Chain A
Amino acid sequence: MHTIEDIKQRIKSGESTARAEVEAALARAKQHEDKNIFISLTPERALERADEIDEKLKSGEIVGSLAGVPFAAKDNFLTLGGTTTAAAKLLSNFEAPLQATAIEKLEAEGAICIGKTNLDAFAHGGSTENSAYGPTKNAVDDSKVAGGSSGGSAVAVALDIVPFTLGTDTGGSIRQPASFNGAVGVKPTYGMVSRYGVVAMASSTDCIGCFAGTMDDAEQVMGVIAGQDEKDMTTLADYYTPAKVKQSAKIGLIKEFMGDGVDDEVRAQVKEYAEKLTVAGHTVEEVSMPITKYALAMYYIIVPAEISSNLARFDGVRYGQRAKDATNLDELYNKSRGEGFEAENERRIMIGSYVLSSGYFDAYYLKAQKARTLLINAYNELFETYDVLLGPVAPTPAFALGENTSDPIKMYLADAMTVPASLAGLPSISVRGGTTKAGLPIGIQLTAQQQNDSELFAIAKTMESHHG
């Protein structure tokens, strides 16, 4: 595995250079082309930046904590040097005039973006099958999905192409593909990382996070991208500090996530992880959170509502693909959007329009936002006693390509265990929990109170050192 530290050491000792590391990462990306991980590679800009960093290293200038470390970003982060498509036809030629805050912060530390990874169009989906560029294949099994929506970013890390990638997680889009491919996946507290320059999906739950091979690398990346940003007024005042190792945490295992509908092998892995936590000195107790049963229903009202509003900006007027032969402005909107969106985008936009319509607003949207309060209250109650909550990331390991594409509800159910933390704005991570007998990775989900992100790293790290 190429960790951030390995790469830094190689460059520091003179064994390697930033250029050599970027070239090697690009070569690995090419070697795995059949997985359809990248929508675009940007070798020109990446190598130019690598040479700049190598120059600075030679002359002894300070070049940052990630100098020469290659990474990739989900293709909904605005970047310079290539396209930002959000995996949608509507933005297939879009070249951003600015960069996302998270990208700027990584570049300021010397990290080098080598390309943009595949996703469900506009991040709507849980399998990366809704991409206009075709699905990404699972890291370990070509017949299985990568998960999603940040499928490409998860597979890029799982196959060791780059030590870390950026993703977005609105309802599980980092944690679930991390679980499906065997990477570490981090969704921080809502507002820890600026959303500026990232294609918006649902503004009240959208979070920027990362995939990495190790907890240490994930923690380091989050430390770089975290922080208040005047360009995103929902960012929190800086609070993030490196983890303090807690000797004995109190951990609640959510009963409702271990019942029927959860794959036996997934349940067994979570139980095994719970036992290991106990051996490591933590206390694990079963807890009940009946309201989680309703979280998915809340999510599929609130999120489409926000999507229908956020995606109104894609109109074919100021940027993006414009339909040919429209004779008036209304036709231009309707055709450009109809041609530029994928079916799942349209489904969510229309559900959003429906639940926000006068006459239905109270029954759906307001009802869901009130139910969300009940969910938050249930979490708060548990956090009075427990430091961290534990459960699976997803009810199953990676499912087969095409298995859930004809039934949106079946596809949505893959998010049932990740959306609760999203609705409550909680930090939640996916850590490796072993594999099925067939070799498919299984992720374990750890969730903490708002702004207790570092506690999750601390616990996960004690587990890595105890059990590899």
Chain B
Amino acid sequence: MTQISRDDVQHLAQLSKLQLDDDEADALAADITKILGYVEQLDELDTENVEPSYQVTGIKSVWFEDEVQRSDVGREALLELAPEAVENQIKVPKVL
């Protein structure tokens, strides 16, 4: 059975962009180990030569006409949603 450690959880948290303290990480390590242990029962199923079902109603790629669609929602309304906006742009702290 797969064992997930605190370090594994912190690595996953990094991939998932989540800040966790050590207590949270320990609790999640126990939970995730348990959940992976449960889902691993799928190994009992023979799925050789079986195609995966990512989409269940048979719809294939649906295309739009290549035309500009005007949204009802304007730039002002969207910028108002941003926690910080300056001169028509959304402001974030430095990237590096």
10 extra interchain contacts, Cβ-Cβ under 8 A, other than A322-B83, A326-B93, A425-B56?
A298-B39, A318-B90, A337-B17, A338-B18, A338-B19, A346-B13, A351-B32, A366-B52, A423-B56, A424-B56
Which of A204, A317, A349, A364 interacts with B18 by CB under 8 Å? A349
Q: Are A373 and B92 in contact (CB under 8 A)?
A: no
Q: Are A369 and B52 in contact (CB under 8 A)?
A: yes
Is B7 among interface residues, defined by CB-CB distance under 8 A? no
CA A383 – CA B57 in complex, angstroms? 16
* A interface footprint on B32-60 (CB within 8 Å = 1, 0 otherwise): 10111011111111010011111111010
Q: Are B47 and A371 in contact (CB under 8 A)?
A: yes
CA A195 – CA B36 in complex, angstroms? 30
A-B residue pairs, 4 tightest by C-beta: A369-B52, A338-B19, A425-B56, A322-B83
Q: Are B50 and A370 in contact (CB under 8 A)?
A: yes
Is B78 among interface residues, defined by CB-CB distance under 8 A? yes
Q: Are A332 and B93 in contact (CB under 8 A)?
A: yes
Is B70 among interface residues, defined by CB-CB distance under 8 A? no
Q: Are A236 and B38 in contact (CB under 8 A)?
A: no
CA A374 – CA B84 in complex, angstroms? 49
Q: Are B13 and A350 in contact (CB under 8 A)?
A: yes
Interface size class of A (residues with CB under 8 A): 35 or more
Which of B15, B35, B41, B81 interacts with A319 by CB under 8 Å? B81
CA A141 – CA B92 in complex, angstroms? 48
Which of A189, A350, A368, A450 interacts with B9 by CB under 8 Å? A350
Q: Are B38 and A297 in contact (CB under 8 A)?
A: yes
Q: Are A425 and B57 in contact (CB under 8 A)?
A: yes
CB within 8 Å of B: which A83-139 residues: 94-95, 97-98
A120 to chain B, nearest CB (A): 16
Q: Are B64 and A230 in contact (CB under 8 A)?
A: yes
Which of A347, A370, A373 interacts with B32 by CB under 8 Å? A347
Interface size class of B (residues with CB under 8 A): 35 or more
CA A233 – CA B64 in complex, angstroms? 9
B40 to chain A, nearest CB (A): 8
Q: Which residues of B contact A320 (CB under 8 A)?
A: 83
B55 to chain A, nearest CB (A): 7
Interface of A is mostly: helix
Which of chain A's residues has its CB closest to B79's CB?
A: A318
A86 to chain B, nearest CB (A): 15
Q: Are A372 and B92 in contact (CB under 8 A)?
A: no
Name A's B-contacting residues (CB within 8 A): 94-95, 97-98, 189-191, 204, 230, 233-234, 236, 291, 294, 296-298, 300-301, 308, 312, 315-322, 326-335, 337-339, 341, 343, 346-347, 349-354, 357, 364, 366-374, 376, 408-409, 412, 423-425, 450
Interface of B is mostly: loop
Q: Which residues of A contact B13 (CB under 8 A)?
A: 334, 346, 350
Which of B12, B35, B53, B57 interacts with A191 by CB under 8 Å? B57
Which of chain B's residues has its CB closest to A356's CB?
A: B15
Which of chain B's residues has its CB closest to A95's CB?
A: B81
B68 to chain A, nearest CB (A): 14
CA A267 – CA B76 in complex, angstroms? 56
Q: Which residues of A contact B77 (CB under 8 A)?
A: 97
CA A189 – CA B16 in complex, angstroms? 31
Q: Which residues of A contact B18 (CB under 8 A)?
A: 334, 337-338, 341, 346, 349-350
Q: Are A300 and B16 in contact (CB under 8 A)?
A: no
Q: Are A350 and B56 in contact (CB under 8 A)?
A: no
CA A326 – CA B9 in complex, angstroms? 22
Q: Which residues of B contact A354 (CB under 8 A)?
A: 4, 12, 32, 36
Q: Are A373 and B50 in contact (CB under 8 A)?
A: yes
Q: Are B42 and A297 in contact (CB under 8 A)?
A: yes
A119 to chain B, nearest CB (A): 21
A91 to chain B, nearest CB (A): 11
Q: Are B53 and A369 in contact (CB under 8 A)?
A: yes
* A interface footprint on B18-39 (CB within 8 Å = 1, 0 otherwise): 1110001001100110111011
Q: Are A331 and B93 in contact (CB under 8 A)?
A: yes
Q: List 6 A-B contacts (CB under 8 A).
A: A97-B81, A204-B55, A331-B19, A338-B18, A347-B35, A408-B31
